């Protein structure tokens, strides 16, 4: 981490970002924490989680907001309208992730998880979703070694019994 922190007000994510581990902020806020498009940021409310940083749309520029979906807000322990701390962190590739289904799921393979979640940052106890034939399957991260970003080439998956 670079030690530079921004405090931003949380708003809803854009529809296209839901379930992808993305947060958006304006360029001034990104600049203030030395982050660029695609960098990994740590967002901190009552707990910490990771997300991919992208810029807001021009209509939101200069508003001092962070756009995050429900899962990212839940994972950070924050609500819409809260202020939170965000800072850039270095990108680490997660070598092994164990997830536990949060509801009955159809048979999915570790390979499907790996492909669908490529590039999504994860931390222990995060909730993540997996797109599956027009639905979203909900999982909890039981283990992430080390905490970081899922890589299609390098990350191994396990599915814990629910």
Q: What are the sequence ranges of the domains in the chain?
A: 6-89, 93-159
93-159 adopts what CATH topology?
Vcp-like ATPase; Chain A, domain 2 (3.10.330)
Q: What's the average model confidence in pLDDT over 139-157?
A: 92
Task: List the structure tokens of 28.
Answer: 């001034």
CA 143 – CA 127 distance, rounded (Å): 12
6-89 adopts what CATH topology?
Barwin-like endoglucanases (2.40.40)
Contact 138, 75 (CB under 8 A): no
Question: Whole-structure pTM over 0.85, yes or no?
Answer: yes
- Return the pLDDT at 75: 95
Per-residue pLDDT reduced to its tens digit, 88-99: 999 999 999 999
Q: Identify which of 135, 76, 85, 68 has the alpha carbon closest to the alpha carbon of residue 106.
A: 135
- Rounded to 5 degrees, φ, ψ at 54 are -130, 160
Q: What's the average model confidence in pLDDT over 109-125?
A: 90
Residue 105, classed as helix, strand or coil, is: coil
Residue showing tokens 């909890």 = 140
Which residues on neighbouring strands pair with residue 132, listed in sequence order?
A: 135
- Return the pLDDT at 153: 86
């Amino acid at each position: 981490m670079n030690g530079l922190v921004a405090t931003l007000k949380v708003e809803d994510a854009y529809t296209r970002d839901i379930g992808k581990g993305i947060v958006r902020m304006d360029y001034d806020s990104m600049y203030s924490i030395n982050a660029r498009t695609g960098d990994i940021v740590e967002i901190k409310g009552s707990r910490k989680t990771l997300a991919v940083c992208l810029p807001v749309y021009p209509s939101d520029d200069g508003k001092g907001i962070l756009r995050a979906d429900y899962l990212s807000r839940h994972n950070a322990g924050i609500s819409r309208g809260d202020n939170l701390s965000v800072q850039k962190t270095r990108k680490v590739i997660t070598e092994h992730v164990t997830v536990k289904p949060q509801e009955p799921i159809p048979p999915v393979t570790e390979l499907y998880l790996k492909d669908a979640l490529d590039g999504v940052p994860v931390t222990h106890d995060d909730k993540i979703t997996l797109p599956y034939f027009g639905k979203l399957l909900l999982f909890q991260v039981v283990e992430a070694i080390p905490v970081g970003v899922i890589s299609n080439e390098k990350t191994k998956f396990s599915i814990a019994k629910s």
